[in-house]
Structure 1
Amino acid sequence: MKLLQNILKIVLPFLFALGILWWMYRGTDWQAFLSSVLHDMKWGWMLFSFVFGILAQLVRAWRWRMLLAPIGERARRRSCEDAVFVSYAASLVVPRSGEVLRCGLLKRADGVSFSKALGTVFTERVVDSLLIVLLTVAAFFWQVPAFKRFLDETGMDLRSFLGRFTETGYLVTIACIVAAVALVLTLVARYMKKGKKVLKNLWAGVSSLRKLNNLPLFLFWSLMIWVCYFLHFYLAFFCFDFTANIPPAAAFLIFCISTFAVLVPTPNGAGPWHFAVKTSLVLYGVAAGNAILFALAVHTIQTGLVVVLGLWGWLSTTYLQKKRIQSNKPSNA
């Protein structure tokens, strides 16, 4: 039974993602798509966006190390960086598994308490969730004047604007929301079933926020993570002529919407992310064919970066582990 559950954890998210992707790309001319990516896309902008994709993960690792210190858990900077790299790649296979895996890697590398580390990860998620909600609200109000101006210029009212959604589009949106809520409820139920010791250590991880020596720096790192994520996303707009002129404020709102889509438990948000980005771009006047091209190209290439960083982190972790084992062996006199 447990084996079946583990298999379903991998298979169901993939099937859900594949279902949405098939619906979105079922009529795609793949030869034209590849030609556009290889010849029309400005790769310099994509490579530039990689800088911020890497930096986002590094900053997350540095912030995590800050949270561990007040609860007496000393972790090396490189160990945290490698663990974060691997965690993102692992979540491509089993959604959300990376959060647990990076705690295990840090325990193996530096002897950090697994449950305390998991508590700090929970703290990270709370802080990140609050930040993205605040940023999304700010982005929405930032875009209200532009939204009104768009309706006036096109002669649309709100009903006709929302009518640009197809019935299937509404169904996909509802399915994504239900899946995200189910994930949250499952995680809450799982933590409630844990023993007192584990819950105590989880609370110790959460309470580390109050014991931070430099709270302003922690908040700065937290904000910088989202700044890097946004630049990683926004710079990709300049890869294509049809998205290059989208204003930063509009791009930021699209980024926030796509971030919520990643809450749906699919590998790296595949499917829901594509749908959210494509729909948002269409509402901002980008042709549907170009919008789905952008979503697929950007997600695929930037996911490749996650895989490369994950492999680097795993090789680095393995190498350092072997090096420590060899250094601890008694030398033959």
Structure 2
Amino acid sequence: MKKRLLSFAKYAVFLGLGLFLVWWSFRQIPDDKWDEFTKSLSTANYWLLIPVFVILALSHLVRALRWKILMQPMGYQPRVANTFFAVMIGYLANLAIPRLGEVLKCTFLARYEKVPAEKLVGTIVAERAVDVVSLGIVFMLTMVTQSDILAEYGNELIGQLFKKGENISITALLLFAGILIILFIALRVWFKQFSHLKIVMVIKKIIAGVWEGLISIRRLKQKGLFILYSALIWLLYAAGTWVGLMATDGTAHLGMGAALGALAFGSIGMIVTPGGIGAFAFFIAKVLEENGVPFEIGFANGTLQWFAQFLIVVLLGSISLLLFPVYNKKKNSHESHSSN
């Protein structure tokens, strides 16, 4: 019960932050600029949502193919369709409750494929680690293409988030490290003394699955393809963002450099709040503002791009949720007839 309340409290806090950023963003638009904001949305080229839809759908498919590669060292070969369905259901669930999607996509795939869910947890951890590295590369590319803009905006954000002195930050960091060390030692002692308890055995099983997923990267037979898929996912993200910038008049002239900056900070926005609500459009607007785009125009474009991503996840996620049992019922029926 306490765990559920804590999860709900965390979700409420981040959702509240997202709604606050929506309200704050609207407050940033001067009264005499509201017409430009609404005009930017009303005159947007909504036909460009089609290529954005295709590009982002392809990125989700590539993510499913990459996930399959992570399962191969463990001896599992799930079908591409099932893997894709699971990925999209995970994204759909994340719109409601952050991180719930990671659990659900493992659960759904385990239901229709012979893959233990606890072992899939490790592949999710491995995927997230690669995504963090990939996002870091996007930031570095942005530094190369827009070093002055990124530095100025980054300093502004850091200044707002960390207003305390350097000594306090170092003290907090050392305290945090000390707590982690004590917690690690306590867990080791607890696991050793109470290894007979069912909950300890379950936790050990999950940890073993996570570890197997992590070391599976080292044992990949298709390392080159895994790296190619990882690069392609973020290349498609960048392409989708660039096409999205073309949708509104005030941002159509911007190039790939601005798209990389928008992708970098927009990705942070997707992490900060559930589904990126408020934060995604706000961060993109601030980055585009550094590129000479008025905030109201940038916020309109960021809102449009956020809506496009939201719509894609809702549509493909809902379709995947419906097709998952139907596809597997037909597949199992076909295999049954073949065996007879």
Measured against the shorter chain, the TM-score band is: 0.7 to 0.9
Alignment partner of 1:251 is 2:259:
yes
How does the TM-score come out when normalised to structure 2?
Answer: 0.78
Give the drift of 1:35.
5.6
Q: How does 1:24-173 map to 2 (within 5 A)?
A: 24-26=25-27, 36-38=40-42, 40-144=43-147, 171=160, 173=161
Alignment partner of 1:319 is 2:320:
no
Distance of 1:10 and 1:260 partners within structure 2 = 17
Q: Is the 8 A contact 1:10 1:93 kept in 2?
A: no
Structure 2 unaligned runs (5+)?
164-172, 178-182, 188-199
Distance of 1:8 and 1:293 partners within structure 2 = 30
User: Could you report, residue by residue, the CA deviation over 1:95-131 in whole angstroms, capped at 9, with x for unpaired residues?
Assistant: 1211111101111111311111110111111112112
Q: Is the 8 A contact 2:41 2:248 kept in 1?
A: no
Instruction: Give the residue type in structure 2 aligned to 1:37.
Output: L
How does the TM-score come out when normalised to structure 1?
Answer: 0.80
Alignment partner of 1:222 is 2:225:
no
In the other structure, the counterpart of 2:294 is: 287
Give the drift of 1:56.
0.7
In the other structure, the counterpart of 1:198 is: 206
Q: Is the 8 A contact 1:61 1:77 kept in 2?
A: yes
User: Could you report, residue by residue, the CA deviation over 1:6-61 in whole angstroms, capped at 9, with x for unpaired residues?
Assistant: 432443322121111111124768887566434x1112222111111100100000
Instruction: Give the residue type in structure 2 aligned to 1:292.
Output: F
In the other structure, the counterpart of 2:169 is: none
User: Could you report, residue by residue, the CA deviation over 1:158-204 in whole angstroms, capped at 9, with x for unpaired residues?
Assistant: 9xx67x96x9x964x569xxxxx9xxx9xxx99x8972221111111
Alignment partner of 1:209 is 2:212:
no
Distance of 2:35 and 2:332 partners within structure 1 = 51
Alignment partner of 1:15 is 2:10:
no
Instruction: Give the residue type in structure 2 aligned to 1:142.
Output: T
In the other structure, the counterpart of 1:152 is: none
- In the superposition, relative to structure 1, how do residues 297 and 138 fare at CA in structure 2: closer, same or farther (>3 Å)? closer
Give the drift of 1:74.
2.5
Distance of 2:10 and 2:35 partners within structure 1 = 33
Q: Is the 8 A contact 1:73 1:113 kept in 2?
A: no
Distance of 2:80 and 2:203 partners within structure 1 = 30
- In the superposition, relative to structure 1, how do residues 9 and 322 fare at CA in structure 2: closer, same or farther (>3 Å)? farther
Distance of 2:13 and 2:326 partners within structure 1 = 34
| % identity of equivalent residues | 28
Give the drift of 1:225.
0.5
In the other structure, the counterpart of 2:279 is: 272
In the other structure, the counterpart of 2:5 is: 4
SS of corresponding position for 1:240: coil
Cα RMSD between the aligned structures? 3.3
Instruction: Give the residue type in structure 2 aligned to 1:248.
Output: M
Q: Is the 8 A contact 1:65 1:75 kept in 2?
A: yes
- In the superposition, relative to structure 1, how do residues 134 and 327 fare at CA in structure 2: closer, same or farther (>3 Å)? closer
Give the drift of 1:72.
1.3
Q: Is the 8 A contact 2:11 2:274 kept in 1?
A: no
Instruction: Give the residue type in structure 2 aligned to 1:81.
Output: F
